Each structure stands twice: as structure tokens, then as C-alpha cells.
Amino acid sequence: MVPPRALAYAASMPEPFRIAREQIERHNAARRADLEADHAHLGKQLARRGLDVERLTEAAQRFEVAVPSWGVGTGGTRFARFPGPGEPRDVWEKLDDCATIHQLGRATPRVSLHIPWDEPEDPAALARFAKERGLAFDAMNSNTFQDFPDAKHSYKFGSLTHTDPAVRAQAVEHNLHVIDVGKKLGSRSITVWIGDGGNFPGQIHFRSALERYLESLRAIHAKLPKDWTLFLEHKLYEPALYSTVNNDWGTSYWCARELGERVLCLVDLGHHAPNTNIEGIVARLIHLGKLGGFHFNDSKYGDDDLDAGAIDPFQLFLIFNELVDAARSDPRFAPAYMLDQSHNATHPIESLLASAMELQRAYVQALIVDRAELAAHQQANDVLLAHRALKRAFTTDVEPILAMARLRSLGAIDPLGAFRASGYRARKAEERPAFESSRSGIV
Ligand code: LRH
Ligand code: MN
């Protein structure tokens, strides 16, 4: 299906370029023998630890994480944005790039859209377009942290928590609109992140602002379809630089508990103070039955939205260690996994491919933790051996399992290598004339 906008444009252009199946098969054929040897060798090593490499490979094949539509375009900082050639110009081209990420990595079958950035003229057509490319839609994201041309009220001083009920009503209405679009696209959840907060002591009455937040969320929750989930995303600071209404997991948890069982907490790894023990927060929210999902990324200082596992892969492993441990005792445990990154210095497709692989790696490493051994050392307060039980899994090179999972799922053994060899970037630079985007900024 050709997107409406492309119709006029497509008159002169052939079908948008896609990597051919044969290209991936040729790529894999040259690497298959080495992979099979490495996989078999790892299999022997793991068997000595009582682990079955085949079961681990099947688990890796089942691992999925959603990609953010806003992540396939070049991100920026408040200082500047350096768009690359072949940038996707609209939601259709963003889906083409998301389809390429899934074609090579086989772990990202769903896309998380942001409204109004991805407002579809024809949701049914967009759903068909996505389906044809093996994609579906994950959590929708509302946006009441920017003002848009047709908006009656400004969100300069807040949205769902604004002192003016008319502004709150506008923000609630927007979220209901996002749910409506999501229903037409087959999504089943919405993530509500708001930047509401203050830059000066005294600017905001903390308790009244939180009451207004809850009142507005109640209005959204009241219209939430019965089979939908509402994710609350907390964030320590930015854009508010002194106080933020939903600033931490505790506030988010309290609101989710007040609102009901289909309201859960979403943990964006970058939304915490430096050195926060995020795996501890994850274990807490699991314990309280309110862990709904993640925005995976990494950061050194603030909400840097860097590639997942790029700065602190051990933290990522420790988070998956908590998730795998929880899933052992509750098979229905299935938090929503999404990436939320901004790519300023790397090619967005390559970063999203690499990040999905880093999540899969952390997951498989968490699966090989000897939990009986760990529990015994914890019980015996044998601190070092307990720690080393985790480190042994984290330092196990599971790459052959990840690559075999991709091969068996008809992806590329080396997705980045295959992507670079495919000529996709050059073809998109030809197909998509650069468009001047005035905006700098994170997304
Ligand atoms: C806020 C956030 C939120 C998105 C935005 C793109 O920092 O993490 O999840 O809406 O980034
Ligand atoms: Mn986020």
C-alpha cells in the first residue's frame, strides 16, 4: 500500500527501497557455519551449568521490545539538531524504517506512536500499511508538553495539573483523542507523561497540583476502554527544573493505586537522579503489583536518552535479573518493553537495532543466572558468592544465542553488518529529499 502523500510523489519514484530477502540470506550464508560452531560450543559450556542452549535460544526468539516512532528520526539537544540524509519525513516513512529494524533484528514487531507527531489522516490505512510490513502498534503516547497551532490553551504552566480547569479539560480531551486513535490502530495502552512542574520555589502548591493530576487522570481513566492499560511515567525533572508533579516512582505508584488495577507505573530509565538504584525500584514496583512497563535507554547524568546498555550494561542486566526472577513466580507477568531514545550522533536505525540486541542480551544473561545457587548464598549471607552468581551470568558471552535466534527467525546474523551492506541509507537519501526542520530539541 502506498501512503497517500507518496501517491503524487511516487509518480516519478519507484516503490520505496526495502532490503531484499536474498540480501539477508547471502549475508547469513557467509556466517552460518561459524555461528553454528560457536552456538554448539556455548551449548557445551552451558550444559555443564545445567542449562539448555536450545531453550535459551527459543526464549531469545520470543523476546520483543517496541520501538519509538520518534526514535527513527535524528534527535537533538536544546542546542542543536544535526539531521542526517534520508530522514523519515512522516509516519509512513518512520514505519518503513521500523520495518527494516524488525526485518534484520526480529525483536521489534511493534511501534509506539506519539500524537500529534504521528497523527494519522487515515488510521485504518496506517494500520494496513503497518500490517503489510509485519508491524503492530504498542502503547500510544499523548503530548501535553508542547503547544500546537490549533490549541485554544497553552501548556506553558502545565497541562493535566494546570490551575485553570479549561486547560486541564483540554489536556484530558487530548488524551481521550489519543486513545481513540489508538483504538483504530489496534493499540491497547496509553502512556501519559507530563512535564508539569515548577522552576521556582513557591511557583506551585505541591499538594494541590498532585490533587489536580489525580482528578485529571480520573477523567481519562473513566473513558479508558475495558481492555486497555494506562501507564503513568514519572520523571525527576525537565522540562521543569525545580519541582515535577509526578517526580518519582512513589508518587506514580500512589496515583496508580488510587486509580485502579488497569493503571500501572512505567519506568523510564533516564528519569531518575544519577546513581539511583533503578533495579531496586523495579523490584519494589513488582512487589507492589504496579510495574507496567519500561522506556529503556541509558544515561550518564540526566535524561540523556542514550542507547540502552551503552553506559551501564550491568544495570540493564540487574533490571532483567529482577524481571526474570519475577516471571518465575508469576507466568502472567508481562510488563511492556519499549525503547525511548534520542539519537544525536548515531544513525537511528543502527542505534535501535543495537539497543534491541542489548536488551535481548541482558534478558538471556538473566535467564542463565543459577537462581538456586544465588538463593543459597543469599540465605547463607555468603555475600561474595551471591554477587559472583550474578556476575557469572553477566560475563557469559551469549552472542551466539542471540545471533542464532535471529537466524532462526529469518533475520540477519549480524544486523548492523547487513544493514550497512544493504545500501539502505544511501537509497533513502536518494528517495527522501532533505526537508528543513526548523526545530532543535530532544525529539
Ligand atoms: C519524556 C519522555 C516521554 C516521551 C518523551 C518523548 O522525557 O521520556 O516518555 O513522551 O520522552
Ligand atoms: Mn520516556
Q: Whose alpha carbon is nearest atom 2 of ligand 1? A: 193
Q: Is 295 in the pocket of ligand 1 (CB under 6 A)?
A: yes
The minimum-distance atom of ligand 1 relative to the CA of 145 is: 10
Number of helices (H), then strands (E), belonging to the chain: the values are 17, 11
Distance 433 CA to ligand 1 centre (A): 28
Task: Give the mean pLDDT of the chain.
Answer: 95
Q: Is 233 in the pocket of ligand 1 (CB under 6 A)?
A: yes
Q: What pLDDT sits at residue 438?
A: 52
Instruction: For 282-331, give the DSSP string.
Output: HHHHHHTT-EEEEEE-B-SSSS--BPTTSS-HHHHHHHHHHHHHHHHH-T
CA-based nearest residue to 295, from 221, 365, 197, 193: 193
Distance 380 CA to ligand 2 centre (A): 39
The minimum-distance atom of ligand 1 relative to the CA of 70 is: 6
Site of grid cell 542452549: 53
Q: Whose alpha carbon is nearest atom 1 of ligand 1? A: 193
Give the CA-trace dihedral at 198, 200, 201, 205, to 10 degrees.
-30
The minimum-distance atom of ligand 1 relative to the CA of 114 is: 10
Q: Is 304 in the pocket of ligand 1 (CB under 6 A)?
A: no
Distance 302 CA to ligand 2 centre (A): 13
Total-model pTM: 0.96
**Maximum CA pair distance of the chain?**
72
228: left (phi over 0), alpha (psi -120 to 50) or beta: beta
Instruction: For 240-255, give the DSSP string.
Output: -SSEETT-SHHHHHHH
Instruction: For 389-418, give the DSSP string.
Output: HHHHHHTS--HHHHHHHHHHTT--SSHHHH
CA angle 436, 147, 181 (to 5 degrees): 90
224-250: per-residue pLDDT in tens? 999 999 999 999 999 999 999 999 999
Q: Is 141 in the pocket of ligand 1 (CB under 6 A)?
A: yes
CB contact burial 287-305 (16+ within 10 A = b; e otherwise): eeebbbbbbbbbbeeebbb
DSSP state of 107: S
Q: Whose alpha carbon is nearest atom 9 of ligand 1? A: 193
CA 193/CA 181 separation, integer angstroms: 18
- Give the distance from CA 281 to its chain's centroid: 18
Q: What pLDDT sits at residue 282?
A: 98
CA 131/CA 123 separation, integer angstroms: 12
Cβ neighbours of 103 (radius 10 Å):
23
Distance 235 CA to ligand 2 centre (A): 9
Site of grid cell 544519577: 274
CA 321/CA 7 separation, integer angstroms: 48
Q: Is 268 in the pocket of ligand 1 (CB under 6 A)?
A: yes
Q: Which of 174, 304, 340 to mutate to test the pocket of ligand 1 (most atoms within 8 A of CB)?
A: 340
Q: What pLDDT sits at residue 12?
A: 57
Residues with CB under 5 A from ligand 2 (ion): 268, 295, 340
Q: Whose alpha carbon is nearest atom 4 of ligand 1? A: 193
Distance 414 CA to ligand 2 centre (A): 28
Strands (E), 138-261: 140-141, 189-192, 197-198, 229-233, 243-244
CA-based nearest residue to 292, from 394, 188, 205: 188
Q: Which of 70, 193, 232 to mutate to test the pocket of ligand 1 (most atoms within 8 A of CB)?
A: 193
Q: What pLDDT sits at residue 1?
A: 45
Q: Is 231 in the pocket of ligand 1 (CB under 6 A)?
A: no
Low-confidence ranges of the chain (pLDDT < 50): 1-2, 5-6, 9
| Order of all β-strands in the sheet with 336-339 | 140-141, 189-192, 229-233, 263-268, 291-296, 336-339
Q: Which of 246, 268, 296, 442 to mutate to test the pocket of ligand 1 (most atoms within 8 A of CB)?
A: 268
Distance 295 CA to ligand 2 centre (A): 5
Q: Which amino acid is at 88?
A: P
- Give the distance from CA 39 to its chain's centroid: 29
Contact 419, 100 (CB under 8 A): yes
Q: Whose alpha carbon is nearest atom 11 of ligand 1? A: 340
Q: Is 340 in the pocket of ligand 1 (CB under 6 A)?
A: yes
Distance 356 CA to ligand 1 centre (A): 18
Q: Whose alpha carbon is nearest atom 7 of ligand 1? A: 303
